[in-house]
Amino acid sequence: MRCIKVGSKTFDRLIDRDDHGRVRLQKTVSGIIDKVRTEGDNALIKFTKKFDKIELKKKDLRVSEAEISGAYQDIKPEIVNTLKAVIKNINKFYTKQAPKSWRIKHEPGIELGEKFTPIENVGVYVPSGTVPLVSSVYMTVLPAKLAGVNKVVMVSPPNKYGSIDPHILVVANLLKVDEIYKVGGAQAIAALAFGTKTIPKVKKIVGPGNEYVTEAKRQVFGYCDIDMLAGPSEVLIIANHHANIDYLKKDLMAQAEHHKGLSILVTPSKKVYDVLREDTNVRGYLIKVKNLDEAAKISNMIAPEHLQLMVKSPNRLLKNITNAGAVFLGQYTPVAVGDYIAGPSHVLPTGGTASFYSGLNLRSFIKSSHTISYSKKALCASAGWVKELTELEQLQQHWESIKVRCE
């Protein structure tokens, strides 16, 4: 591992993990979005041929019921049973997250409250590389469905056979995804944001993707909502002399399996530090600190996506943690368990955005409306305050709307 010191240039780059030099990427993605906005399905077909090397017709963009049914025949039955069990397990976590609408009597004649409503429709992006990322399906779709989203639309790039991996189709079907389309990249994000004749426009887009997908989400934000701008996966481990060295190595190496994955180990232990600094098989950064309090401060500065607390009393250290996408407590809670089965979504803030952003959850698919109710007596009793403030801001008609009710 590479040893670095707090305050060094390398350490400062860990704090500021924003990607620079994105002008060409921004221009490319902007051009793709403009084409989809103006040419719709025709642009999707052209870009699919250009980037995915697959020729599709408009009628082929949407995955058919026959394709979904056939997908069950192409995978092992035991995988279906595993997927059902995992979905049931994750479902238990999200049922605790649903907010409830409320109203209170603030003063005599005044009632205030908050009404929660699920977002009407949502688009889910599922990456597709050399292997099926089935976990990305249930980690995004399940909280949306449990939140009460009326329509979930999924997009995923077609494979070399012009279809979507059967494992992805099966898990989408188990979760009752309403519509599935064979389109990926920035063009898929544009289609969801603005709609085409085939693909419906949605209110929010969620799900991980490559740099083109992420940049497209950034550019369409405001036309619709997005979950976050996620970058390369990352883990920070705080470990002292109580940590099992073999566990540490495996967890750090697991992170390296991700494209551009970032691994950081922060430790006050000389033993841990000496062992890992000599290990050339483990990639990442190693930071020596005085104690666990300093380790927590450094972790909060970095604000990692995944934070593992491999110490004797992780709950005690947790009290000092303010910035992390997800926190994994103890020796037997590796990031992998959160990636696949624990419950909380693995769609988490990266690049330091955990300092102001949360991971995807059921509340990500719910919006709130404030409710306000005044009686005539309560309104007129408060009229003097409004009069003073409207005079200060020179908004006379605002005051008149109060005055006419109290005369």
| Token code pair at residue 242 | 């109580």
Q: Cα dist. 126→50, 139, 158, 172, 184 in Å?
A: 19, 10, 11, 10, 8
| Token code pair at residue 248 | 């540490």
| Token code pair at residue 134 | 């089935």
Active site includes 305?
yes
- Could you give the maximum distance between any two Cα atoms of the chain, in Å? 83
Instruction: Tell me how far apart the alpha carbons of residues 300 and 236 are, in angstroms, rounded to a whole number.
Output: 10
| Token code pair at residue 297 | 């401060």
| Residues 320 and 332 sit within 8 Å (Cβ to Cβ) | no
> What secondary structure, in 3-state letters, does 150-185 show?
CEEEEEECCCCCCCCCHHHHHHHHHCCCCEEEECCH
Q: Which of 346, 300, 301 is nearest to 326 (CA)?
A: 346
Active site includes 278?
no
Who's near 262: CB < 8 A, 6+ residues apart? 17, 232, 233, 234, 235, 255, 284, 285
* Torsion from C-alpha of 68, 226, 264, 2, nearest 10 degrees: 100
Selecting among 306, 370, 393, 400, the annotated active-site residue is 306
Q: What is the DSSP letter of 360?
A: -
Selecting among 167, 215, 234, 305, the annotated active-site residue is 305
| Residues 294 and 238 sit within 8 Å (Cβ to Cβ) | no
Instruction: Tell me how far apart the alpha carbons of residues 64 and 179 are, in angstroms, rounded to a whole number.
Output: 9
| Residues 396 and 389 sit within 8 Å (Cβ to Cβ) | no
| Token code pair at residue 231 | 């970058």
Instruction: Tell me how far apart the alpha carbons of residues 304 and 326 are, in angstroms, rounded to a whole number.
Output: 8
Question: What residues act catalytically?
Answer: 305-306
